[in-house]
Structure 1
Amino acid sequence: MSFFSSDFTLGILGGGQLGKMLLTETRKFDIKTAVLDPDASAPGRIATNSFSVGNLMDFQTVVDFGRQADVITVEIEAVNTEALAALEAEGKKVYPPSAALKIIQNKCLQKAHYGANNIPTSPFTNYESLKDLMLDVVSGTLSLPFVWKSAEAGYDGFGVQVVREIKDLDTLKEGACLAENLVDFQNEIAVIVARNAKGEAVTYPVVEMEFHPTANQVEFVLCPARINDQIAQHARELALRVADSFKIVGLLAVELFLTKTGELLVNEVAPRPHNSGHYSIEASVCSQFENHLRAVLNLPLGDTSSKMAAVMVNLVGAAGFQGQVKYENIEDILKIPGVTPHIYGKRETRPFRKMGHVTIVHQDIEKARENAATVKSTILVKST
């Protein structure tokens, strides 16, 4: 099949910032695209051949959209998997496969998958309702502290909470959920795997993630992670096992805990381009977005090695500001060598909403981290 400068169409479900950055690669290769997103002002609207507004969870909307494409992929997990399965039954190529996406969408199913496939993860218990979890707490079957996760609709720190006291239970959302042991970890790290339909797979270097203490969002991503080579190699091998267990086609971001005893535990995964791989646009030989495109088109996978060290800083809406966005001091950070801002194109800011990111490259990871701290303290995302 000819993908380049042809009538072949890649359908992308979701037109957020990930879709926008993926579309940079489709433009580079002159691959025709169609995007579906519920937001008429989604960032991905400006770079696609065809943009449609529609509900990604509506069965018929997704089926109708998918029938117009030759290959369908996603940039967000919240998609109707029954519609994707129906498209697969019609002969459409859907990546990631609907079966894998259905498991990954639900954190209870995802954790059960790790147990069934002998993938190391923190001990957990799945619950059909919050009431069932509370009964276990009252009976002493479930001991505090623990981490509560909503089965569905969790993202960027939402739907996850550490329960340290009985009163914390009052703040939890009703519905299916899980409780997992609170891990005494040394680092939170991640590995991105690119895997095509032939089963060929490559991994990016291990990255280290630093989280905002209250928002539970990734604040800094460092590549390479400041861990020893043996642990890094083990993490990459484990990530490949996880991707193979899901039979992923495309990208799989595997988030892991490195415990203080040197054990690696899989926390959760994302079957798409991921925040932990944004640094790759400037710092890698082949970015995660190009490799996602190569993978879903079953093309040879690109070189994942780094050209230099990098730190990515998330730009999120400042607390106390909501409305038309205003970026302050971008000119000041542009004076720092190796700094590249990415503005996602969201016109309205709100507290902790992801509005962009900045990549800082340097030959030395510690100097890159130092410059990243300067960027973080300088640039401000406010409202007019």
Structure 2
Amino acid sequence: MTTFPTLGILGGGQLGKMMAAEAVRLGIGVRLLSPKDAGPMQAYAHATTADWTDPDVLRDFATGCTAVTVESEWAPADQLAPVCPQDTALWPSPQTLGWIRHKGVQNDRLAARNLPLPAYRRCATRKAAHAAADELGWPLMLKQYEGSYDGYGNRLAKTPAELDDAWDDLAADDGLLVEQCIDFVRELAVQIARRPDGTSVAYPVVHTEQRNHRCHAVVAPAPIDAQLSENAQAVARNAVDAVEGVGLLAVELFETQDGAILVNEIAPRPHNTGHYTIEGCTTSQFENHVRAVLDLPLGSTDLVAPHAVMVNVLGQREGTPPHATGWRQALQVPGAHVHIYGKPEVRTHRKMGHVTALGNTATEARSRAEEAAKQIIL
């Protein structure tokens, strides 16, 4: 007789919602914990809003769970670990999250294992940042060590004055990360699902298109040759192995002008660049995340159509509630799969949903996804 497991999710946003949806479909029990009403999680009965830094809250939440996972690297896994019941697994581990959430530590971890990276320096002082600029050359990409996302926390600097401005805005007590600015052909991403014993599967390499430093569209598979695709998947697997990741991790990459693959950064969770997998692959990134953290067999990552394209739906105003216009029209686009996350507050450029479409050609899939996405005004 099989006893179905229970999965605890620290976080209540769209990623937690989509993890929970896949778990429920498989008959797996779900609990969600968030420090505030995140909106998306409210579709689930066992959703709790409480102080997730309180040891008693965390202990009660984890008790009875087969495993607990996180929606983001900022969830308090390190605070849960000391009070987590012995029979409850916690994935990704607090150690993995610690290596990843600090961009300087992440780069050092990857570099120590000979992963290909842009040249970088961890600069503790403004003077050190200027010295790094003299060494690496202009322009530079300056990155906040912790807390950056969706284009926030990164800055391109072409002059010493721009470096000073970025330092004032981004530097923490331990400084910031200074990287060589890569003249890349395109940005790529690979999702890797990995079980606790290291068994893993890789998703197709995708091309991620950015607008204003935010992901606009994801094209699967990426328009690259088979050898480059194999290389990108191998680099992604090695990067995930280097941080001992468990669950679904996304590895963002650069394809350089000379055909090399460089690691940009890792996300220790399902990721926006993998949302296309819900309709586009035999097993979505969310289902394989659930499988991996519960140490279940991993599902196929094959595409179910020759091409899939995802387009993000971003907020276009500030305020509440998130009334949408054009939603009905978007649903009328043949072959378009519309996802609205249920966030209670709209902000300009905030990810409020996405649309995915499949097609026999990338152009066909792209046309359907773009047509539906442009209808939705939030």
- Return the TM-score normalized by structure 2: 0.92
Change (3 A) 1:41 1:271: closer
Equivalent position SS for 2:208: strand
- Residue of structure 1 in register with 2:309 after alignment: 311
- Verify: 1:123 aligned to 2:122, yes or no: no
CA contact (8 A) 2:62 2:85 kept: no
Q: Which of 84, 97, 107 is the matching residue for 1:101?
A: 97
Change (3 A) 1:299 1:330: same
CA contact (8 A) 2:253 2:263 kept: yes
1: CA distance between counterparts of 2:23 and 2:129? 49
- Runs in 1 of length 4+ with deviation above 6 angstroms? none
Structure 1 segments unaligned to the other structure (5+ residues): none
- Residue of structure 1 in register with 2:152 after alignment: 158
1: CA distance between counterparts of 2:59 and 2:102? 21
2: CA distance between counterparts of 1:257 and 1:64? 43
- Residue of structure 1 in register with 2:139 after alignment: 145
Q: Which of 38, 42, 53 is the matching residue for 2:39?
A: 42
Change (3 A) 1:335 1:13: same
Equivalent position SS for 1:25: helix
Kindly provide the amino acid, as one letter, of the partner of residue 311 in structure 1.
V
Q: Which of 131, 143, 156 is the matching residue for 1:136?
A: 131
- Verify: 1:276 aligned to 2:234, yes or no: no
CA contact (8 A) 1:63 1:83 kept: no
Q: Which of 265, 282, 287 is the matching residue for 1:285?
A: 282
Displacement of 1:305: 0.2
Map 1:184-333 onto structure 2 (within 5 A).
184-212=183-211, 214=212, 216-308=213-305, 309-318=307-316, 320-333=317-330
Equivalent position SS for 2:328: helix
* Percent of residue pairs bearing the same amino acid type: 37
CA contact (8 A) 2:250 2:270 kept: yes
Cα deviation 1:220-274 (Å, max 9, x = unaligned):
0011111111101111111111121222111110110000110000000111111
Map 1:46-85 onto structure 2 (within 5 A).
46-47=43-44, 49-56=45-52, 61-85=57-81
- Residue of structure 2 in register with 1:20 after alignment: 17
CA contact (8 A) 1:340 1:360 kept: yes
Displacement of 1:58: 5.8
CA contact (8 A) 1:67 1:87 kept: no
Displacement of 1:359: 0.7
CA RMSD of aligned residues (A): 2.1
- Residue of structure 2 in register with 1:336 after alignment: 333
Cα deviation 1:135-177 (Å, max 9, x = unaligned):
5369x45643100111101111111111123332324223031
Aligned length: 372
1: CA distance between counterparts of 2:363 and 2:3? 41
CA contact (8 A) 1:87 1:94 kept: no
CA contact (8 A) 1:57 1:79 kept: no
